[in-house]
Structure 1
Amino acid sequence: MFGPEGPSLRELAVQALSSVEHGYDLLAPKFDRTPFRTSGRVLDAVARALAPLGPFDDGLDLCCGTGAGVRVLAGLCRRAAVGVDFSAGMLDVARHQVRAADGPAIGWVRGDARALPFTAAFDLVVSFGAFGHFLPRELPGLFARVHSVLRPGGRFAFPLPAPAPASDPLFWTLLGFDAVMRVRNALWWPRFVMYYRTFRLGTVSAELARAGFTTELRALPEFGRRADGSPRVRLVVATKPTTQQGS
């Protein structure tokens, strides 16, 4: 999973005993050589699924990390693609890796996703693999902030894999990881919030509706279907209404 150019076991241990922000500052130079980076397969599938919903003028990548999602926005947006993250280290790597060419302007903002420093400035907000850093009780505020930075009719989109069944070793791997993180956070400060099994479709759908979105689910066919026929990966597309309800 980790190549010779990736972080060492010691580096990962130091990161895990840091705060989320400082941990990612430490990991940033080698982040793209870890399995934590969203795969190109997922990025490409999301880009293909979103393209027919455009055109988009301005896009925001929420918790952009080293900028892989901003590259997706650069192919979908005509005017600007902006990445926001609270890790200065991750943003520094992103600035060096993703540069404006003939496409939209590229921008980087250091900020907390729970307190986005924007008004209604975007037509599209995306996020890839970041939601494990938010506790379930934080979702209402997070989704409300995303709603506030979208223009009427704007979209909030993110891929959401189906949970692994109990017969899959991945189920027990993720369960074990979450258990270890809970013990770590109970015994060590500052906390490192990263849980894989807290971002569930039912809760997400309810909180998106509560924030004022209308939501549709689109299967990403590149990832196939499970034995019960359900998609292995869905794209959640939440839309901010063009008019206020009741008007």
Structure 2
Amino acid sequence: MFGPEGPTLRELAVQALSSVEHGYDLLAPKFDHTPFRTSDRVLDATARALAPLGPFADGLDLCCGTGAGTEMLAGLCRHSVTGVDFSAGMLDAARHRPRPAGGPGIAWVRGDARALPFTAAFDLVVSFGAFGHFLPRELPGLFTQVHSVLRPGGRFVFPVPAPPRPTRRDFWLLSGFDAVMRVRNALWRPPFVMYYRVFRLGTVTRELTRAGFTVELGVLPGFGRRADGSPRARLVVARKADARQAAGQPAAGDVNS
């Protein structure tokens, strides 16, 4: 699961007994050598799906971690890219990540996704692998924050993998992990919020709509379909209304499911 450059079992145990913020500060130097980093396969597929919806001027990577998604975003935006995260350690690792020459400048900002320090400054907001750190009751506030930092017509985009079936080993591994975390958080303070099976697509689309978005579900290319024909990975594209939509006219360039 972890290569020789990844964290040791002791380091993971210390992280798990810390707060979310301090835990990621500790893990940051070795984070890119763990399975928790968003895979290049997911990032590349998201970039391919987003390219026809552009061009984009300014982008925000929400809960950017060490910046893998931010680099992807830099290939889609012409003017500026911002990565925001509440872990100083993760941001420090992001700043030291090697970057290819060219492309827009990247600003790294320490901030909480539930209280973003921006005005309506972005055309595109993306996020990868961070939603397990938010309890379902926090989603309305989180999505309202994202809506507030988007310009009219801007999009909030993130991939969502299909949940594993109960007949699959992954289902029981993820369910077991969530159960252990619930016990840990009941017995230990500070809590470490990280659950794999609380971010459910039906709840997410409902709360995005309540926050003022128009939501479309695309298929993330390259991941194929399950035996029942459903996609193995979806791309959620939540759009903030622009002047055309406010006037009752259809908006151009939406993603097809």
Provide the TM-score with structure 2 as the length reference.
0.94
Alpha-carbon deviation of 1:235?
A: 0.4
- Number of the residue aligned with 2:227: 227
Q: How does 1:9-158 map to 2 (within 5 A)?
A: 9-99=9-99, 101-158=101-158
2:177 counterpart of 1:174: no
- Number of the residue aligned with 2:241: 241
Change (3 A) 1:100 1:86: farther
- Paired residues in the alignment total 247
- Number of the residue aligned with 2:252: none
Alpha-carbon deviation of 1:152?
A: 0.2
Alpha-carbon deviation of 1:228?
A: 0.7
Unaligned runs of 5+ in 2: 249-257
Q: For residues 100 and 120 of structure 1, what CA distance do their matches in structure 2 show?
A: 28
Residue 222 of structure 2 aligns to a residue whose secondary structure is helix
Residue 166 of structure 2 aligns to a residue whose secondary structure is coil
Change (3 A) 1:96 1:54: same
Q: For residues 151 and 98 of structure 2, what CA distance do their matches in structure 1 show?
A: 25
Query: Quick one: which amino acid aligns to residue 97 of structure 1?
Result: R
Query: Quick one: which amino acid aligns to residue 181 of structure 1?
Result: M
Q: Which of the pair is proportionally richer in helix?
A: 1
Alpha-carbon deviation of 1:101?
A: 3.0
Residue 125 of structure 1 aligns to a residue whose secondary structure is strand
Alpha-carbon deviation of 1:102?
A: 1.5
Kept in 1: contact 2:82–2:107 (CA 8 A): yes
Alpha-carbon deviation of 1:123?
A: 0.2
Q: For residues 127 and 152 of structure 2, what CA distance do their matches in structure 1 show?
A: 19
Q: For residues 229 and 26 of structure 1, what CA distance do their matches in structure 2 show?
A: 41
Residue 59 of structure 1 aligns to a residue whose secondary structure is strand
2:194 counterpart of 1:187: no
Kept in 2: contact 1:64–1:84 (CA 8 A): yes
Alpha-carbon deviation of 1:44?
A: 0.2
Q: For residues 20 and 125 of structure 1, what CA distance do their matches in structure 2 show?
A: 22
Residue 170 of structure 2 aligns to a residue whose secondary structure is helix
Change (3 A) 1:21 1:140: same
Kept in 2: contact 1:21–1:86 (CA 8 A): yes
Query: Quick one: which amino acid aligns to residue 138 of structure 2?
Result: E
Identity %: 80
Query: Quick one: which amino acid aligns to residue 210 of structure 2?
Result: R
Deviation string for 1:157-216 (max 9, x for gaps)? 000001100010000000000000000000000000000000000000000000000010
Kept in 2: contact 1:3–1:33 (CA 8 A): yes
Kept in 1: contact 2:49–2:221 (CA 8 A): no
- Number of the residue aligned with 2:6: 6
Unaligned runs of 5+ in 1: none
